[in-house]
Amino acid sequence: MAIQKVVHIITRLDRGGSAQNTMLTVLGHDRAYFEPVVITGEASSCDTQGGYPATIHNLRLLEKESIPYYIVRSLVRHIDPISDLRALWHLVRLLRQARPHIVHTHTSKAGVLGRLAAWITGVPVVIHTPHGHVFYGHFGALPSWVFLHIERALAGITDWFIGLTPAETLEHLERGVGKADRFAVVPSGIDRDRFRKARANGKIIPEWFGCPSTARIIGSVGWLTEIKGHRFLVDALAHLNNEQQNLHLVIIGTGDQHDALLRRAEQAGISQVIHLLRHREDIEVCLAGFDCFVLPSLNEGMGRALVEAMAAGLPVIASRVGGIPALIEDGKNGILIPAGDSSALADAIRKVLEDAAWAVELGTQARDSIDASYGIPAMVQSIESTYRKALTGYA
């Protein structure tokens, strides 16, 4: 097969899960067969998901690997008719110049405008990865209804969809988006070896946690946004504070809910045991300091941070939403709870803390369930296999 040019289009190339997934795919492509190009929106000054510094870091990685990229300033996440039309025009112009064999769009806004631009310019193969459960939780009722109908229409010009979990695929099909034989399921890849070694020497609390050496630490990693549900985790700690000695909560991540979470902890009288430690690159070091990992999201495509915690062998507690039940079998390799239920979350944390042997078993089963299919090479190979299927008949 001749080398095929692949243009990846994504709204934001920051530290979010979709951006990480896209970067790993682009950097991992077999350059003997696929020539990657990246188009992204302009970096935001907002601290959420790393903002400008994270985007610049990723662009430098592309430069290091001699991967061309283009920044479309009008490609923004929020709905803005004027900016969206400008972005569409720029995308059409760039695709006409690049003349790719494949356009692979990522996330909602880039998925809409990128696929339209690919259709206008006659790109032979169009692939779309939604990167999550996009039909609820992110928008209001009316925008969600409009978005659903847009997705139904765009399915007609989309050759293949790539979902992170079977649940994501099913959600699209149940809503009349796409056809079953044009969906591939490819989990987000992680560096399995890195995280499987995270707790090789047991629990080690970093000094910068600011916790006592004897602390029992409930940990979470994720952006401090409303949809991640951290407020329910703070409330759960408030439920447990009087009955559980030396219990601390450590959350790694940044976002617009930082101050609100601190105020919530202060109002509950537990600010002294809540540690919001902003973004860290050394997540494996953070995981080594946790006794339990919690992902209290209200919506989640798969949960990269959850997969990393499971690979590290931590007992995990997560909301029964989105693609999470595809990862966790309740009571076997983790605990599933209703989203937005701080009492149920407190009960689950209590069970883990009070049964050490069971907690170890949960962690062991979690680690063993994150097999090679969750590795980066497997992800890239599966995506490229989907490209080859889509290219059949176009060569």
CATH number of the domain within which 257 lies: 3.40.50.2000
Clarify whether residues 199 and 156 are in a common domain: no
Clarify whether residues 332 and 207 are in a common domain: yes
Clarify whether residues 122 and 261 are in a common domain: no
Closest to 383 in 3D by CA, of 106, 49, 64: 106
CA distance 282 to 32: 32
Average pLDDT value for residue range 227-247: 94
Clarify whether residues 311 and 387 are in a common domain: no
Average pLDDT value for residue range 50-72: 91
DSSP characters for 177-213?
-S-GGGEEE-PPPB-HHHHHTTTTT-----GGG---T
Clarify whether residues 204 and 183 are in a common domain: no
Clarify whether residues 62 and 196 are in a common domain: no
Domain extent, residue 330, equals: 192-371
Asked if residues 139 and 147 have their Cβ atoms less than 8 Å apart, the reply is: yes
Residue 395: pLDDT band by 50, 70, 90 thresholds? very low
Name the 3-class secondary structure at 338: coil
Clarify whether residues 110 and 248 are in a common domain: no
Clarify whether residues 94 and 127 are in a common domain: yes
In this prediction the pTM is: 0.88
pLDDT tens digit sequence for 342-371: 999 999 999 999 999 999 999 999 999 999
Average pLDDT value for residue range 289-293: 97
Q: In the predicted model, is pLDDT for residue 48 greater than 60?
A: no
Q: In the predicted model, is pLDDT for residue 42 greater than 70?
A: yes
Asked if residues 225 and 251 have their Cβ atoms less than 8 Å apart, the reply is: no
The pLDDT assigned to 146 comes to 84
pLDDT tens digit sequence for 116-140: 999 999 999 999 999 876 666 556 6
pLDDT tens digit sequence for 70-109: 999 999 877 789 999 999 999 999 999 999 999 999 998 9
Enter the DSSP assignment of 271: G
Name the 3-class secondary structure at 73: coil
Residue 147: pLDDT band by 50, 70, 90 thresholds? confident
Name the 3-class secondary structure at 81: helix
Number of domains present in the structure of the chain? 2
Q: Please identify which residue in the block is written with the tokens 């601190």.
A: 262
Residue 62: pLDDT band by 50, 70, 90 thresholds? very high
Asked if residues 249 and 234 have their Cβ atoms less than 8 Å apart, the reply is: yes
Q: In the predicted model, is pLDDT for residue 251 greater than 90?
A: yes
Q: In the predicted model, is pLDDT for residue 50 greater than 80?
A: no
